A and B are shown apart, each in its own frame.
Chain A
Amino acid sequence: MTISSASPGLAMPDPKNRLFGPLPDVSAEAGYEEDHPKRVGFFTDTSVCIGCKACEVACKEWNTLPMDDSFGVKDAMGLSGMSYDNTGQLGANSWRHVAFIEQSRAVDLPMPTFGRPGDDRHDHGASPTTPGDDFSLANAQQSVLNAEALSEFDPQTGQTGADKQIRWLMSSDVCKHCTHAGCLDVCPTGALFRTEFGTVVVQQDICNGCGYCVAACPYGVIDQRKEDGRVFKCTMCYDRLTDGLQPACATACPTQSIQFGDLDELQERADARLATLKAQGVETARLYGRDENDGVGGDGAFFLLLDEPEVYGLPPDPIVTTRDLPAMWKAAGKAAVMMIGVAVTAVLGSRRR
């Protein structure tokens, strides 16, 4: 028996943020030597997701995941009846899940008239170089994708009638590989572990199907295969990573909505992307899981969203349950002492026969 390295223990003040808060080096905290690889992650930029589900298919193929319907019923092929999303949710057999949200809004003002897309790019100052060369052409194309696509000339936005506008939000959800992973904290067998890449993976030969991780995940990612008994979730293609390959979903994504790489680099890229979108007037763009001061210490897989997280089925402010564990153990200890106190009092307070 070993004291698990993934177990920060009962260090109550938690000065090293072992239960909660920012953690600069998750792998080192989990016990890896200093020369471990850098922490990797996913940046899922939903503003360029086209909902093709190539990520889902690639994931199923690579990881040989069984078929199931949108409620996790195995070998059932059912339509969810709610949208183009027939995957429904992340689960034991769906490690990528593309959400489809159809939204409409009332349009009060007469719609602005457009020229060709990109014609007004100079107003945005998006092209710092002289017009006409290849670089600025690329920029212009980028600008079409970025600015107009999301603000005024959104290809996902169509008009139905004069007073109503429709847009589609699409987002490929995945295990967040949290800095403070609830599933990892509560696993009693050590089946869940932190890899050298900073990801969280289940060892299938260890898992005994206790199901604690299922209840502990604040995002509802990990789940049990009923017929198997064990739990399954995204491994960020641990097998591919160890061979120097990118995860299957990121490889398959045709629009680079799913970007894989070193987490710090992805974070920089995401910040820049957010700044670009904000500058272009996409007020609702926001990063989700990027903030290392959030309830799970930041996510290894984070997102750029165009609406509130709950619209995509994500919790707005998830907190790793173990943050409150010291308080819980304290309460349990006091309650146990209380029991002995009551029992002693009850016995001593009673007359002997």
Chain B
Amino acid sequence: MTGGITSPDAGWRQADRGPSTQHTTKKRRKRGGGRGRGEVAMVDDVEFTSYYGRQIVKTPVWKSPDVPLYLFLGGAAGSSSILAAIADLTDRPTLTRVGRYTAGAGSLLSVVALVHDLGRPERFLHMLRVFKPTSPLSVGTYILSPFSAAAAATAAVELLGWFPRLKRFGGVVSAIFGGPLATYTGVLLANTAVPSWHAAHEQLPYVFGGSAMAAGGGISMIFVPVDEAGPARKMAVAGAAIELAVVHRVENDHGIESEPYHEGRPGKLMQAAKTCTAVGAGLTVLAGRTRIGAIASGTLLAAGSLLTRFGVFEAGIASTKDPKYVVIPQRERLAAQQNGHASTITR
């Protein structure tokens, strides 16, 4: 990979601009916060060229508190609605009620966050002009709309104590859309040219699904009496385990495109997320049956989920700002194609 990339011809080099345009990535080792033992170097020395060090893909214009918050709220609401519907069918009234309130509040807030992020919020309804399976945001609109309608209505009638049968129906409808609401957001981020999101396109839905269950279960643990919160604890721990396992793959399986998950602010957020989630899950197992333990571990799990969303979001943003995350993987792909089956690319 070194040499040759920049100068297949007779040694042309960027003139007098060496440092800013002719980059060499530093050899970086994964910093695993104490878990780095036995890790191999993620990226070897690679020389690559860019246009005055400028980024190639555009940085997403999505605003920072809005979108990660939407990812978190949608996930927590989605998993809570599923838990509430099943709890309702198995006669667990407090768990049902808390789940419905969480789902209702989360869905309304996530609609607000999503609309607020638009460049032209007053044109939100333009989303409903078309249905496009190739646009995760379009599909998401048709998941979020029925979900938020059903979940908010269910939470409202729960609050008012009206129409018990309608309540159960609304709860089931929102539960049907709850899972897709929590996992489609993984596709929403991955279906972009953002290197560190797209590289993890088969994992992000599972990360967000697991994270959603950790958050939804954790929030329920905070508000539901411990003797009724067994399902919430189990879901939260399972979700946290899935989240941690799949995040590990996101952070390590994708070569240089995994790098932003370890570095700078996103790296710190991911580290904090993993710590919160792991400690929260452990505390749930150890002390989840005490009131204080449930509140503490539920809060930690929800915080871990929130931090995961911010970490993943910001890692993607960071990966757009350095051209190496675009150039090097694409160069490697081309080199592999030339070695493997040379006929596919001719330029």
Contacts and interface: CB of A to CB of B under 8 A. Distances in A.
- Whether chain B is bound by chain A comes out as yes
Interface of A: 1-4, 6-10, 19, 80, 82-83, 85, 88-89, 91, 99, 101-106, 166-167, 182, 185-191, 206-212, 214-224, 226, 228-231, 283-284, 286-288, 290-291, 293-294, 307-308, 310-318, 321-322, 324-325, 327-329, 331-340, 342-353
Contacts of B90: 347-348, 352
Interface string B208-224: 11001100010000000
A234 B305 CA distance: 40
Interface residues of B, number: 104
Given A293-B345, A342-B239, A218 B120 contact: no
5 contacts: A166-B15, A208-B127, A294-B347, A347-B92, A350-B230
Contacts of A318: 193, 330
B132 A190 contact: yes
B126 A191 contact: yes
B212 A216 contact: no
A321 B345 contact: no
Interface string B1-25: 0000110111111111100100000
Contacts of A349: 231, 234
B179 A339 contact: yes
B165 to A, nearest CB: 21
Given A102-B14, A321-B192, A335 B62 contact: no
Nearest to A89: B54
Contacts of A325: 134, 136, 187, 191
B178 to A, nearest CB: 8
Top 8 closest pairs, chain A to chain B, by CB: A209-B119, A229-B119, A313-B51, A336-B179, A350-B230, A208-B123, A346-B234, A188-B138
A318 B56 CA distance: 11
Contact of A167 (B12, B56, B182): B12
A324 B187 CA distance: 10
Interface of B: 5-6, 8-17, 20, 48-52, 54-58, 60-62, 78-79, 82-83, 86-87, 90-92, 117-121, 123-124, 126-138, 141, 175, 178-180, 182-184, 186-187, 190-194, 198, 201-206, 208-209, 212-213, 217, 227-228, 230-235, 238-239, 242, 323, 326-327, 330-331, 333-334, 344-347
A206 B128 CA distance: 11
Contacts of A1: 128-131
B51 A220 contact: no
Contact of B238 (A211, A222, A346): A346
Contacts of A224: 61, 119
Most buried by A among B136, B230, B233, B333: B136
A206 B87 CA distance: 43
Given A185-B134, A188-B127, A211-B61, A351 B230 contact: yes
Given A82-B52, A105-B11, A217 B183 contact: no
A321 B198 contact: yes
Most buried by A among B61, B86, B331, B344: B61
A197 B346 CA distance: 26
A293 B343 CA distance: 10
A340 B202 contact: no
A215 B184 contact: no
B49 A7 contact: no
A188 B16 contact: no
Contacts of A334: 205-206
A6 B132 contact: yes
A188 B201 contact: no
Nearest to A227: B119
A102 B51 CA distance: 11
Contact of A212 (B135, B190, B242): B135
B130 A189 contact: yes
B25 to A, nearest CB: 14
A217 B16 contact: no
Contact of A188 (B132, B204, B334): B132
A251 B93 CA distance: 72
Nearest to B207: A335
Given A317-B333, A336-B179, A211 B15 contact: no
Given A317-B331, A352-B91, A336 B182 contact: yes
B49 A206 contact: no
